[in-house]
Amino acid sequence: MKYLPLVFAGLFRRRTRTILTLASVGIAFLLFGLLQAVGTAFESGADSADARRLVTIARYSMIEPLPIAYARRIEQVSGVVAVAYADWFGAKYQNESNAFPVFAVDPARYLAMYQEFAVTAAHRDAFIATRTGALAGRRLVDRYGWRIGQKLPISSELHPKMDGSMAWEFDLVGIIDAEDPAVRGNTDLVLINVKYFDEARRFGKGRTGWYIERVADRSQARAVAADIDRLFANSPDETKTQPEKEFALGFAKQIGDLGALVTRILVAVFFTILILTGNTMGQSLRDRIPELAILKTVGFSDGKVTALVLAEAVALLLLGGALGMAAATSVIPLVNGSMGGRFPPLFVDGGTWLRAAAIVLALALAVGVPPAVRARRLRIVDALAGHR
């Protein structure tokens, strides 16, 4: 700790240069934090996927519905311990830009399947008991100022009612929440009761969008998936069953390989930072050769001088990285607010902070080691001779 003033004195010897470099590093890590948050949000479905859950869709297209009657047959497959199903409602609320997922589900089956959703017993019971009932995610409730007991007027882009109207109305009976931020990203939805929905819609009665199954043994998941698909082989509604994580990743990839795109952008950003901070450190060392020689003269060992120079690189990147990540964390709520719920909520998770720390360390070593080695090799008499 007693050497810290010395580290910062070296770092801020050229105040403007250091502040500009810090700003560059900060902006790079702000970008890193935001892009990682986007990647994390889009992959959160996969991350929160349960290895014991399977998803069954129609074999040739997931927009083709499957018979609801499949539920009982799937339950009979050996290794399957629970079955739920859901259908896509295609909702818009108030105007075109307020779009969020609304799933028509069997309340008891669906909530039993997704036990990571935090729903109070009273809300669960009310949802099961109310044919026009709906559960809404906490963030949606907060965003639109909904209150339990109120009517939710939601239009469907896909399903007309018997009278041809696309305007539906549900009773908000409860809230879905989650502790885990990755799971909370999947609660930006509204669940409605399939009994009411199926009776009230004009088309597609008796059919649902997809099935979710829980298996007894995760190691048997693929075998059970094959058994399910075999059950409906050569039928008019053949199925494709896969582990939930695979399904979620495939779904996310439909908007492009986000991970690869993010990685390429970040490699370019950090390469630029590497060159920039490397140049700053190099110039800083050249400016201070006589000062480093004086430190050695008064008794600082080669090792101590090396450590001081390396510590400057670490401090520069740590400070810039922390500022950038803090900025990303502060900006994300604003970004989420401006999205109007069209994208999963962004968040900076612990993994992103750890990756940022690892990048800081790697960059610090890359830019700090060459000047540190040069400082170590500095001969006092040569360095002072250049200053006489």
Partner 1 sequence: MSYSGKVVQVINVHKEYRRGSERIDVLQDINLEIPPGDFLALMGPSGSGKTTLLNLIGGLDTPTSGTLMVDGKRVDRLGSGELSRWRAANVGFVFQFYNLLPTLSAQKNVELPLLLTPLSARERQRRAMIALTLVGLADRARHKPKELSGGQEQRVAIARAIVSDPTLLVCDEPTGDLDRATAADILTLLQMLNREHGKTVVMVTHDPKAAEYAQRRLLLDKGTLAEAREIHVG
Which of 115, 120, 301, 330 contacts partner 1 by CB under 8 A?
301
* In the complex, least distance from residue 290 CB atom to partner 1, rounded to whole angstroms: 6
147 lines the binding site for partner 1 (CB under 8 A): no
- The binding track of 236-265 with respect to partner 1, each residue x by CB under 8 A or -, is ------------------------------
144 lines the binding site for partner 1 (CB under 8 A): no
SS3 137: strand
SS3 243: strand
Which of 144, 300, 343, 353 contacts partner 1 by CB under 8 A?
300
Identity of residue 228: I
Q: Which of 116, 146, 124, 125 is nearest to 52 (CA)?
A: 116
380 lines the binding site for partner 1 (CB under 8 A): yes
Are the C-beta atoms of 318 and 364 separated by less than 8 Å? yes
* In the complex, least distance from residue 310 CB atom to partner 1, rounded to whole angstroms: 17
Based on CB atoms, which residue is closest to partner 1, 200 or 294? 294
User: By CB under 8 A, which span of 8-16, 57-65, 104-112, 213-221 interacts with partner 1?
Assistant: 8-16
Query: Among all chains, which residue has been given the structure tokens 């495939």?
Result: 250
* In the complex, least distance from residue 183 CB atom to partner 1, rounded to whole angstroms: 49
Distances (CA, A) of 322 to 1, 221, 314, 371: 19, 42, 12, 23
* In the complex, least distance from residue 319 CB atom to partner 1, rounded to whole angstroms: 16
d(CA 86, CA 57): 11
Sign (positive or negative) of CA dihedral 166, 171, 175, 176: negative
Which of 298, 334, 338, 350 contacts partner 1 by CB under 8 A?
298
294 lines the binding site for partner 1 (CB under 8 A): yes
Query: Given the DSSP bridges, would you call strands 167-176 and 133-137 parallel, antiparallel or unpaired?
Result: parallel
Based on CB atoms, which residue is closest to partner 1, 90 or 290? 290
User: By CB under 8 A, which span of 141-149, 240-248, 295-303, 342-350 interacts with partner 1?
Assistant: 295-303
d(CA 294, CA 298): 6
d(CA 7, CA 307): 10
State the DSSP code for 147: -
Residue numbers of the site for partner 1 (CB under 8 A)?
A: 2-3, 5-6, 9-10, 12-13, 290-291, 293-304, 380-381, 384, 387-388
